[in-house]
A and B are shown apart, each in its own frame.
Chain A
Amino acid sequence: MSPRTLPRLEDGARARPSRIALLALLCVLALGSAWTPVGASEPADPAPAATSAPRRPRWSEESRALAEAIPIQAGGRVKPLITYAGYTLLALNGRKSLKVVEDGEELSLTPTEWLLDVLFFPDVAAHYRVFLVTDDATLDAIGFTREMREKAAKADYEREGAGHATRKKRDRWSFADLSPAFRGLDEQARVASRVASRERSRTQQAVLELYQNVALYSQLEGSMLLARGRLEVPEALRSRFSGAAQVPFSAVAGELEELLATLPAHALGHGEQASLSPEQQAAGRMLYDLQQLSGGEEGLALLPPPPGATDGTWHNPYRLVAGAAAHDGSVPPESLALLGGFERVGDALGKPAATLDALRALHDALVAAAQARGEYRKVPLEVTYQRLDPVRWSWVLSMVGLAFALLGLLSLRGGFGRVFRPLAWLMTGSAAAMLVTGIVMRCIIRDRPPVSTLYETVLFISATGMLACFVMEALSRRWLALPVAAVIGTLGLQLAQWFEGLNKQDTMPTLEAVLDTNFWLSTHVTTVTFGYAAGLLAAIVGQVYVLGRVLGIGKQAHETYAAIGRTVYGVVCFGLLLSIVGTILGGIWANDSWGRFWGWDPKENGALMIVLWELIALHARLGGYVGPFGFSMLAIAGGAVVSWSWWGVNQLGVGLHSYGFTEGIQTMLNSIYGWIGAVLALGLGWRLLSGRKRAGGG
């Protein structure tokens, strides 16, 4: 089975007008199936035999920058190629970069470089080890046996001349490595897709994911066939193409109307080859080749629709040609010009200067077409955002800030404190500034308030937590809030990146219809998220209090502890204000969207439980049942309630993305619960013991 023809498993819901065209073309295909396209460059022979590695020129800095800014429509919105490439590579490889070996030297490719290689040098890219398989039981299941794996690993090692000759249980494999097992993968994926998602085994789920990744990869690989191949013109039709023996895709697409007209109507329905004239046979063959080079229905949607198009869906070569065939067969000249741009890049490959020029021309043409539709405005800013990667930098700065803050804490009275403290302020402050910049950029890119997805709650909570700590530090000057700010930045942004890796999807997705309201996103969602932040901050400051007391730090600093206790109390008070108002606003939103203020659904209940817990803590303090220590303990337990409400209730639902996702989050939650439980047990034990001591001594 050829890897290119991996079939799609679930295709039911996507009925498009191009279906008819597809049918027509398939009939032509049946008619022409006796021929094979000559011009189309077939995919690399995926046999893992150790031959000398195919070569490709490296992409210059400028070409990469141009490619990164090319607009593409994916996931329902127009975004730059750098975003698309990043999340595609993340989905396949588990991270946004790819290690490859070239000339015995290890290189790290950026997502865009990798995507360009897949599109323009598929023979080379087929050997990139891009498919992350987390458990080799998956490979056993699809019939990629240990022996086959060892052989493939050895062959890769010999070809690359670097790295390791063996692979681990969790490791990465190339398209070529896996190709002998495609039949097994296809069969097992079919089996798994018939099992309800709730009942799938871990391995079945992993097989399905691998199948989807391989299918996605082969779609990518086929997306740019037209730039790499030419169509052969049969003798009978040469006059139509000014005598040329080979012509580019766009030239044939421009003649689509005439080629279709050449064929008698019945030829589209039945393969009555014998009764066709040589010219008709030739036309059938060219249409077949055209379809072969068009790359398939799911190819990258890189072609903005021509001016005047009513449907907002961007085309790929297949949809462009099939869509035209379904109507009158005429492909708009604007689209032909864009196709020509891709072909010229293909022609220039191998010549760096020419490649750059062709890429620039293509980039400019695509950008102009997107601009004409008003769909390019935010793309440059998104390119900047992706290149800057503010979340990662903010995380790094937070860690440096934390180191200085801790050094500052150790040398509180010493002379070094004068050096470390400003540095800690600088680093942590820059981290927060970087994060706020990132959040603002996201708001502008998407025309949204700061929080509209789970991922964004993490960024927002980290940012507000840090800023709140800065205010507390500025007010109290005890050098306690600043280290907490650095801790929040480090942990929060670690969480954000970890979640992004787990979710493997664009973190700026389009929103479900009911969520698509900036009014409620900015009021309810923002307030509730502030409430989460306050609850978590109270839990962290509460731990400073409890652990400080338990570990006996600063035993004489009664006044400091009293102040920390007051801080915990104050943060819980604000948390209550925000949570209660946010929760009621959520109810009001629900009342406006579904007609019920409160429906006791898991997310609502989670928010209510935060409110209830904070009410319990505050009334227990007011009623004199707990002092600062007990209140801190309650605030720490409140951290578990917030975590459950924030992440845990989502786990109750059905049909989550995958085992990896669900299990990953459950593991994180369990470790949070475990940590909080341990702190609470420690605090309780210390309290009981020290109470006895006091009683005994006093």
Chain B
Amino acid sequence: MIARLLERVLRVLGSFALCIGLLAVLFLLTGFGTLEQRYASIYDVQRKYFESLFLTEIQITAGGPIPVLLPGGYVVLTALAINLLIGGVVRVRKSAPALALAAATVTLLVLVLPRLDAVGLFVVGGLVTALLLVLTGWVWPRRDWARLGVLVTHGGILVLLAAGLVEFHFSTKGTLALAEQEVGGVYQRAGDEFQAYYEWDVILAEHLEGGGVREHILPFERFEDLGPGQSARFESAALPFDVRVSGFARNCLVVQEPSGGVDGLALRRLDPDREKAEVNTPGMLLTLIEKGAGAPTQRALLHAEQAYPWRVEVATGGSRRTFDADLRRRRWAVPFTLKLDDFTAAYYPGTNRPKEFSSRVTKLEDGSTEPVLISMNQPLRHKGYTFFQSSFEPPRRVELPDGRVVNTPWVSIFSVVRNPADAWPLTACGIILVGLSVMMLRKLGGYVRAEARRRAA
């Protein structure tokens, strides 16, 4: 009884109808998600359409949002993976050895290939798959090549979906700006950490008695979706107070508010930037609350662009503890240091069109140095981190915080990514290419033979 029910469920989960339905929903999501990019930044669209569980409204015309009810990208892609596993891999099996061999193929590729370099990966991935296919062919009943091709192709798509899942959950992305000369403590030539594009954490830096600092972090994920009237409370045994975040605005300005506000200041909400979410400047009201009783004691506005952190002193049990509260971009440490030696921007002669830009950097690690060239399409990959030449700033005259007016140096800007699934798509691509080629060539052979028979008849 239960076995039959299970079989039924499996049949539905692996059905063509579900597959077509999911593909159609993904098709719609992609289409709407593209059209909405006229009205919202790609970051917002991505969160709303492709990383979401459900989608309740779309904005694809200037006329305002249209209510819909669709599963979000996260749900659809997960369901598609399940559908594919059950319908595309499990159901086409005809013999246990064949299935085992095919599974071994995919596993081997996923495990071994990411250790190769880009082109080698692609070529070797394809060759190994082809070889295993031939081997599998001998144990496959009736040597059903088309079905084998289907199996391998679906395996490749699964690898691709898995790569997306791993990237979504386990990758970090940010940026690192290095200058050609050190200027005024603002521009630095060397760096061993990179900062986020989108994530802003609240840092409570506690000054310890013997010198040194202990950081307590209120992570962005806990307050980024707070609406205007909502708040979030943070509790920690390590802190002598609780913390409340309220009035969070993704993009705002600090304005004078003589009548009320916080210390005569208030936040004015702005619409998030339509094109680049990374230029938004968030702000919030931070309130310290007595533990237990919950009465607010001190409060201050935190804003992305404030020059100094908010200094709080708290008396607890006879001793005073000092904290600096700051809202800043999340930072990730890199286990080595990069130092910019030279940045070059070349233009096509007589035009403003950049031909190439590149940075000569030195990689410093454990006392050893290594020169590296990073340019467009030629990143530096090391220890799971990848540095890309993403942008630059030419020199200009600016006033430093200390009042001096200086010429800024050339600044080279890198994107930094740490993604465990970095090379998986390439592997997937090789697998899919082989799988589909086997299917197609077999079909083409059939077509040619049929036409030849017809003409002979």
Chain A residues at the B interface, C-beta cutoff of 8 Å? 13-14, 73-77, 301, 311-314, 475-477, 510, 512-514, 516-517, 519-520, 559, 563, 566, 570, 573-574, 576-577, 580-581, 584-585, 587-589, 591-602, 605-606, 608-609, 612-613, 615-616, 619-620, 622-625, 649, 652
Quick check: is B433 within 8 A (CB to CB) of the other chain?
yes
Whether A605 and B33, one on each chain, are in contact in the complex, defined by CB atoms closer than 8 angstroms, is yes
B interface residues, tally (CB under 8 Å): 67
17 A-B pairs with CB atoms under 8 Å apart are: A13-B352, A76-B349, A312-B349, A477-B455, A510-B353, A510-B355, A513-B376, A581-B432, A588-B429, A593-B377, A595-B379, A595-B417, A605-B34, A616-B27, A619-B23, A622-B16, A652-B37
Whether A592 and B379, one on each chain, are in contact in the complex, defined by CB atoms closer than 8 angstroms, is yes
Quick check: is B308 within 8 A (CB to CB) of the other chain?
no
Residues of A within 8 Å of B208, CB to CB, are none
With contacts A301-B350, A477-B455 taken as known, whether A584 is within 8 angstroms of B355 at the C-beta atoms is no
Measured CB to CB, the nearest residue on chain B to A580 is B432
With contacts A605-B33, A652-B38 taken as known, whether A584 is within 8 angstroms of B448 at the C-beta atoms is no
Residues of B within 8 Å of A301, CB to CB, are 350
Other A-B contacts than A570-B444, A584-B428, A625-B17, 9 sampled, CB-CB below 8 A, are A76-B347, A301-B350, A313-B349, A510-B353, A584-B429, A594-B388, A595-B386, A595-B417, A600-B34
With contacts A314-B350, A609-B31 taken as known, whether A581 is within 8 angstroms of B42 at the C-beta atoms is no
The minimal Cβ–Cβ distance linking A514 to chain B, given in whole angstroms, is 5
In the complex, per-residue mask of B288-311: 1 if CB is within 8 Å of any chain A CB, else 0: 000000000000000000000000
Whether A612 and B20, one on each chain, are in contact in the complex, defined by CB atoms closer than 8 angstroms, is no
In the complex, per-residue mask of B68-85: 1 if CB is within 8 Å of any chain A CB, else 0: 000000000000000000
The stretch that binds A, out of B106-114, B254-262, B326-334, B435-443, is B435-443
Q: In the complex, what distance in Å separates the CA atom of A517 from the CA atom of B351? A: 20
Quick check: is B415 within 8 A (CB to CB) of the other chain?
yes
The minimal Cβ–Cβ distance linking A614 to chain B, given in whole angstroms, is 10
Q: In the complex, what distance in Å separates the CA atom of A513 from the CA atom of B375? A: 10
Residues of A within 8 Å of B160, CB to CB, are 584
Residues of B within 8 Å of A620, CB to CB, are 16, 20
In the complex, per-residue mask of B383-424: 1 if CB is within 8 Å of any chain A CB, else 0: 000101010000000000000000000000001110100100
Residues of A within 8 Å of B42, CB to CB, are 599-601
Residues of A within 8 Å of B432, CB to CB, are 580-581, 584
The minimal Cβ–Cβ distance linking A313 to chain B, given in whole angstroms, is 4
Residues of A within 8 Å of B53, CB to CB, are none
Whether B351 and A513, one on each chain, are in contact in the complex, defined by CB atoms closer than 8 angstroms, is no
Q: Across the A-B interface, how many residue pairs have beta carbons closer than 8 Å?
A: 165
Q: In the complex, what distance in Å separates the CA atom of A598 from the CA atom of B20? A: 23
Whether A573 and B440, one on each chain, are in contact in the complex, defined by CB atoms closer than 8 angstroms, is yes
Quick check: is B451 within 8 A (CB to CB) of the other chain?
yes
The minimal Cβ–Cβ distance linking A639 to chain B, given in whole angstroms, is 15
Quick check: is B348 within 8 A (CB to CB) of the other chain?
yes
Q: In the complex, what distance in Å separates the CA atom of A652 from the CA atom of B354? A: 24
Ranked nearest first, the 6 interchain pairs of A and B with the lowest CB-CB distance are: A76-B348, A623-B16, A595-B417, A312-B349, A584-B429, A76-B351
In the complex, per-residue mask of B250-288: 1 if CB is within 8 Å of any chain A CB, else 0: 000000000000000000000000000000000000000
Measured CB to CB, the nearest residue on chain A to B347 is A76
Q: In the complex, what distance in Å separates the CA atom of A695 from the CA atom of B425? A: 50
The minimal Cβ–Cβ distance linking B419 to chain A, given in whole angstroms, is 8
Residues of B within 8 Å of A514, CB to CB, are 376-377
Residues of A within 8 Å of B351, CB to CB, are 75-76, 510
Whether B436 and A314, one on each chain, are in contact in the complex, defined by CB atoms closer than 8 angstroms, is no
Residues of A within 8 Å of B439, CB to CB, are 573
Whether A600 and B45, one on each chain, are in contact in the complex, defined by CB atoms closer than 8 angstroms, is yes
Whether A570 and B447, one on each chain, are in contact in the complex, defined by CB atoms closer than 8 angstroms, is yes
Q: In the complex, what distance in Å separates the CA atom of A577 from the CA atom of B436? A: 6
Residues of B within 8 Å of A585, CB to CB, are 429
Q: In the complex, what distance in Å separates the CA atom of A624 from the CA atom of B16? A: 9
Measured CB to CB, the nearest residue on chain A to B153 is A580
Q: In the complex, what distance in Å separates the CA atom of A475 from the CA atom of B445? A: 11
Measured CB to CB, the nearest residue on chain A to B164 is A598
Quick check: is B49 within 8 A (CB to CB) of the other chain?
yes
The minimal Cβ–Cβ distance linking B253 to chain A, given in whole angstroms, is 22
The minimal Cβ–Cβ distance linking B451 to chain A, given in whole angstroms, is 5
Whether B348 and A591, one on each chain, are in contact in the complex, defined by CB atoms closer than 8 angstroms, is no
Q: In the complex, what distance in Å separates the CA atom of A14 from the CA atom of B49? A: 42
Q: In the complex, what distance in Å separates the CA atom of A649 from the CA atom of B36? A: 12
Quick check: is B220 within 8 A (CB to CB) of the other chain?
no
Q: In the complex, what distance in Å separates the CA atom of A592 from the CA atom of B422? A: 10
Measured CB to CB, the nearest residue on chain B to A573 is B440
Quick check: is B90 within 8 A (CB to CB) of the other chain?
no
Residues of A within 8 Å of B37, CB to CB, are 601-602, 652
Q: In the complex, what distance in Å separates the CA atom of A208 from the CA atom of B237? A: 66
Q: In the complex, what distance in Å separates the CA atom of A229 from the CA atom of B160? A: 69
Measured CB to CB, the nearest residue on chain B to A301 is B350
Tell me the chain B residues, 103-125 only, with Cβ under 8 Å from chain A: 118
Q: In the complex, what distance in Å separates the CA atom of A496 from the CA atom of B397? A: 47
Whether A596 and B20, one on each chain, are in contact in the complex, defined by CB atoms closer than 8 angstroms, is no
Q: In the complex, what distance in Å separates the CA atom of A566 from the CA atom of B446? A: 11
Whether B355 and A513, one on each chain, are in contact in the complex, defined by CB atoms closer than 8 angstroms, is yes
Measured CB to CB, the nearest residue on chain B to A606 is B34
Q: In the complex, what distance in Å separates the CA atom of A134 from the CA atom of B455? A: 56
Whether B26 and A612, one on each chain, are in contact in the complex, defined by CB atoms closer than 8 angstroms, is yes
The minimal Cβ–Cβ distance linking A217 to chain B, given in whole angstroms, is 19
From A512, A574, A587, A600, contact of B46 by CB (8 A): A600
From B20, B352, B417, B447, contact of A619 by CB (8 A): B20
Q: In the complex, what distance in Å separates the CA atom of A563 from the CA atom of B160? A: 35
Whether A311 and B451, one on each chain, are in contact in the complex, defined by CB atoms closer than 8 angstroms, is no
Residues of B within 8 Å of A624, CB to CB, are 16
Residues of A within 8 Å of B16, CB to CB, are 619-620, 622-625
With contacts A570-B444, A609-B30, A625-B16 taken as known, whether A311 is within 8 angstroms of B349 at the C-beta atoms is yes
Measured CB to CB, the nearest residue on chain A to B435 is A577
Residues of A within 8 Å of B353, CB to CB, are 76, 510, 512
Tell me the chain B residues, 9-23 only, with Cβ under 8 Å from chain A: 15-17, 19-20, 23
From A14, A313, A513, A652, contact of B352 by CB (8 A): A14
